[in-house]
Structure 1
Amino acid sequence: MALPRDDPFIEELIGKMTLEEKAGQLTILADTIRPCNPDINPEVNHRQANEMVDQIRLSRVGSIFNGVGVKEGREAQRIALEETRLGIPLIYGSDVIHGMWTVFPIPLAEASSWEPSLAQQTARATALETTASGIHWTFAPMVDVARDQRWGRVAEGSGEDVFLGQTFAVALVKGFQGQELTAEDSLLATPKHFAAYGGVSAGMEYNFVDLSEATLRDVHLPAFKATLDAGALTLMSAFNDIAGVPATGNRWLMTEILRKEWGFKGFVVSDYTADEELIHHGFAADGKDAARLAFTAGVDMSMQSGL
């Protein structure tokens, strides 16, 4: 279980932190110490390994993601614990979508089984392998309802049906996280993408979403609410806008619905540079403005942009 927000240890630690250290804890960057995909996406690796180590040592990053390798991971964690002022450990995250070392069917194929108990078992097996590799946090499951087969990410979710998608989403969260988040084999789940990413117009990635509030609530939000009720403590914000307001800068979505209406006590991480992309939406003037808009909307952690 998560520590309560008024836990004395946490409150004391926050009280010791500088503004820069707080910003560092709210930053997650691609792991360039042990990159897993340097040839697939070279832009990810523009920070060299030595620069990443310096960022950790200066407490400018609280989490790194998509790195593989126990030896280097242990050393990075040692630096965070022993060579920073407050010794706050790094959180290791990863896009573990359908298996870590053992590869399982894609989520869409699992949903075609109509047996959520099977998906829960594959998620549990994934959690065992992933946590044994030193990773704490997975950016899964994708719970977007997708009804346009032109959208390239349909494969990551459970398809077009709201109830089926909700049922499988809950099964996957339970499988990833297990009985207790404090257990060594518990993998923190991240239902994504909040919200309505599967409703992009014409199935075009990053496109706009034009829908009514009724459709948003009836089709695109139920799976998120169900996963939070099942114990998920983090969500990932979506790239798309909803009726002209980008999800990553949407206070109505991130605060009014998520926190106030649903009582969410966890945290929201932006998708990959989704906060910076508020500029491309024409919603933010520059990086500083984008960071302000995303943070005040209710996005807690910035992924990769460094904003």
Structure 2
Amino acid sequence: MSETPFIKMNGLANDFAVVDARRGGVRPRSEIIRALADRARGIGFDQFITLEPSRIGADIFMRIDNADGGEVAACGNATRCVAALLMAENGTASASIETRAGLLLARNDADGSISVDMGVPRFDWEDIPLAEEFRDTRAIELQIGPVDAPVLHSPSVVNVGNPHAIFWVEDVSGHAIERFGPLLESHPIFPERANITVAEVTASDAVTIRTYERGVGLTQACGTAACATLVCAARTGRTGREATITMPGGDLFIRWDEHDHIWMTGPVESEFTGFFDTETGAWRRQEAAAE
């Protein structure tokens, strides 16, 4: 048996198994990740996070695999969790994290929340990417349901490290995103698939959302979806450049600053530690994680 230690963490119930590959931990094969992600028989998580040495001088390189075993470039809530680990390890109030989406900077706020600079959003159709040209990505031609009475239509689209489509609705609870999410996630317009969100603007500084995350499914929270929602809401005049984004798992505060960088702020939690077998996917819980 080849056991690898992990720590289970979450940001607003968006949860992760984190392995430190700098200290002998191993990133498992995709089929083992899928087994470990299973909430009935495995550890149960949305993403598997592997910490590796940075190639550009950051504190860490963060590799992200979704529950389906596919690698992705960005995960906002995981970034906050990893930042909290690094700051505790180094005794610092800030951390730098290399990802496939770029270099992300994080800080520990006075109230114990973790803030991350998620970088600059990309709105051009080629950068999202889309399969065909749309000059205005504030609302693209995409709908689901009858042509004359679509259930959802005209989403705003953006890349915030991964592709997102935001559908504006009057009541997020009135849409079965768990049913239509898989259809939209894999729609031909999204060659790399996309995260699908329904968003209800409740005030000029507040939005409620639900997200179907590519490679994961319906999530309690999605940090990049919160970021995508805020910049698209501001870009379409629905909100200002900062707002509280409410998800089933809780709230994130998102600010799109004067330099066009997106700042995401919210809590993190360490749940427990354990070990898993890299060959079989068998795992065992060790203890509650230290706060």
Q: Give the TM-score normalised by the residue count of structure 1.
A: 0.31
Relative to its length, the structure with more helix (as a share) is 1
Q: Give the TM-score normalised by the residue count of structure 2.
A: 0.32
Relative to its length, the structure with more strand (as a share) is 2
Instruction: Kindly indicate whether structure 1 or structure 2 has the higher relative contact order, using CA contacts under 8 Å at least 6 residues apart.
Output: 2
